[in-house]
Structure 1
Amino acid sequence: MTTTPRRNLLTDVPGLKVGHAEDPRLASGTTCILFDEPVIAACDVRGGGPGTRETDLLDAGRTVEKIDAIVLSGGSAFGLDACAGAQAYLRDQGRGFAIRDIRVPIVPGAALFDLLNGGDKAWGQYPPYRDLGWAAAQAAASGTEDFALGSVGAGLGATTVNLKGGLGSASAVTEDGITVAAIAAVNAVGSATVGDGPFFWAGPYEQDGEFGGMGFPSKMPADGLKTMMKGVQRTSTTLVLVVTDAALGRTHAMRLATMAQDGMARSLYPIHTPLDGDIVFAAATGRRILGDAVTGLARLGTAAANVVARAIARGVYEATALPFSGALPAYKDRYPS
């Protein structure tokens, strides 16, 4: 059994902050998750077209085991510059892996494709994402435990096949007293809702009406299992970070990321196609002892998958439509009741 902490946000795990930076004219942005101290991290990539930075560093057996921050960004491959901006900010603050008198902040990240959403992408010689990464890291460093959801940060320009996407978050406390939380930038090739109706695929996992309280349809609608996908290839990717306060090694963090991927399958249809670059990062702050390394990790991974599903649904539920002709409607606009 799990319970939901008060904020129901990633920051319910102590030891981290979240900052956003975005440009409404660009219709894109960046989100930085900044850890108070370096943490163990891993990742699991299942989409066919990922855009990532420093993910090889997260494999087992690498020399540098801990990271300082993770960046999620719009902008496709251009958006990976946001990691460099966040890295530069952290070095300016004295953070990073020490090599004699030099510090190198370790900032993995991933980007989603939002280049065709109507925003002005004619940025000329210098894409803006490095500056957005600096600003997002600065916002995280000076922020509080609360942060905005919906069309903000990496979720500003995100879309699904039928509704505006966005940035969502959710958290839970396991029966072992371990906190686990997720943040998701939802830019799915498919849909977060069942068929053409208001029900979320993640409905069975919802807590306290966090994305409308609709539940799940008592009978699958006729179009419920119809495969709906964006018409333009390689224009999708859902980015997820799961964080726990449990003490995990790299191998266990990798297993947590693997189990958390099930949350995508519970909340998006279809998922893990050749058309997207879906990824789950997992990080552990190490403030609580997990207990049994096998059953405790199994319970933690199960809860992680659930919070991922809930975070994805919240990202779509909290989104607002972009102010451009032909933009996809937001969930609350299409289903105002």
Structure 2
Amino acid sequence: MKKTKVNEIENFRIGNAQDLEGATGCTVIVCEKGATAGADVRGGGPATRETDLLRPENMVQQIHAVTLSGGSAFGLEASSGVMEYLKEKGIGFHMGDIVVPIVCGACLFDLAVGENTHPPKKFGRIACVNSEFNLVEHGNVGAGTGASVGKVLGKEHSMKSGLGTYALQCGELKVGAIAAVNACGDVYEPNSSIHVAGLYDPATNTYMDSEEMIMEMAESRPHENTTICCIITNAKQTKAQMNKVASMAQDALARTIRPVHTSSDGDTVFAMACGDVEAPTDLVGIMAVKALEQAIVDGCKAAQDAYGLVCWATLNEKKAD
């Protein structure tokens, strides 16, 4: 198994649109050929679109895009711009002369970081147009523009996070992950006690432990959370298999974010497959977990200082001093 680039997975394109002043944006993963897909929602406060149709027993067999968006539930509007873009290209579910693009989506809460704004409908279209360039972008872009982590004690103890990507290849099989990291808790290197970002003390430039703090306070107040992700692969899989892949991929959140899947989180993982590579579902799922772990870490390490929030690189410079 080797590392590859997420934009080298055939049949998929990734594009971003953002409002840097408003601290919000959206990320679109487009598959014009249509992808079999699944989803797994673990957070207690999701803002999602078209997840029910991904259940194996439901009629629609393929989707054409996933939209990851800021703006909380308001951000679901961006998917309508994605639909318009795809409809103009004749891409979608065909019923006679009628074409309905199938676009799934999920949103994170970034309203308190910037100017209490959200990605409008036109941002979905802009992200689709940008996907035609299919660039790999990280950090303060797309759905990661207003993302932050470590929110237990409020903004003054939080850190900037963002959008991360990572991809792996095993033989002809490719699996990639895109993650907008916006957790209430702390982000760690996978299966370790090594902090990447989260709750910290600005007076000493040292990390704190969100779970310990919640237990000390004996309460967990609502926070502006949610990590939203998408797995893409060139494997040949069914809807049921991709739902299993999405479920397995949630392990990546459990291995890197503490706490995670809380009542105020909307943690959601989509999984899309478009290709003809025969591969066991468990192999696809294992690779998805490993790719998503690193995408979550990348989303924190690639972020830059913004909106009064310090990033991983800056905090490490301060600690070195």
TM-score over 0.5 (shorter chain): yes
**Which of the residues 198, 205, 212 maps onto 1:227?**
212
Paired position in structure 2 for 1:330: 311
1:288 and 2:288 matched: no
Task: Kindly indicate whether the alpha-carbon contact (under 8 Å) linking 2:210 and 2:259 is maintained by their aligned counterparts in 1.
Answer: no
User: Which residue is equivalent to 2:298?
Assistant: 314
Residues 314-333 of structure 1, C-alpha deviations (whole Å, 9 max, x = no match): 000000122x3xx2211011
User: Which residue pairs with 1:214 in the alignment?
Assistant: none
Percentage identity across paired residues of the two chains: 36
Count of equivalent residues:
298
Residue in 2 that maps onto 1:75: 71
Other-structure match for 1:143: 133
Structure 1 residues 72-221: aligned runs within 5 Å: 72-117=68-113, 119-121=114-116, 128-140=119-131, 142-144=132-134, 146-161=135-150, 162-174=158-170, 177-193=172-188, 200-201=189-190
Task: Give the Å deviation of 1:36.
Answer: 3.3
Query: Structure 2 vs 1, CA of residues 226 and 133 (structure 1 numbering), >3 Å: closer, same or farther?
Result: same
- C-alpha offsets along residues 141-183 of structure 1, whole Å, 9 cap, x if unaligned? x213x32100100000000013211000111123x54111100
> Quick check: 1:276 aligned with 2:257?
no
Write out per-residue CA displacement over residues 207-254 of structure 1, whole angstroms, 9 at most, x where no aligned residue: xxxx9xxxxxxxxx9966843579751510000101111100011111
Contact 2:185-2:211 within 8 A present in 1 as well: no
The amino acid that maps onto 1:247 is K
TM-superposed CA distance for 1:307, in Å, is 0.8
* SS across alignment from 1:311: helix
Alignment partners' CA distance in 2, 1:234 and 1:100: 46
Letter of the structure 2 residue corresponding to residue 312 of structure 1: I
1:267 matches 2:256: yes
- Is the CA contact (8 Å cut-off) linking 2:64 and 2:101 kept in structure 1? yes
C-alpha displacement of 1:38: 0.5
The runs of 5 or more residues in structure 1 that have no matched partner are: 194-199, 206-210, 212-220, 291-295
Q: Partner residue of 1:53?
A: 49
Tell me the TM-score normalised to structure 1 length: 0.83
TM-score, normalised via structure 2 length: 0.87
Change (3 A) 1:308 1:128: closer
Query: Which is helix-richer, 1 or 2?
Result: 2
Residue identity in the other structure for 2:130: A
How many angstroms apart in 1 are the aligned matches of 2:275 and 2:253? Answer: 25
The 2-side partners of 1:133 and 1:310 are apart by 26
Letter in 2 for 1:102: I
RMSD: 2.4
- The residue matched to 1:4 in structure 2 has which SS? strand
Q: Which amino acid aligns with 2:124?
A: G
Q: Pick closer, same or farther for the CA change 1:17–1:154 going to 2, 3 Å.
A: same
Q: Which has the higher strand share?
A: 2
Q: Which runs of 5+ in 2 are unaligned?
A: 151-157, 197-205
1:164 to 1:61, Cα distance in 2 relative to 1, 3 A = same
Distance 1:96 1:244 in 2: 20
Distance 2:207 2:297 in 1: 22
1:240 counterpart residue number = 229
Q: Cα–Cα, structure 1 residues 178 and 108, in superposed 2: closer, same or farther, change >3 Å? A: same
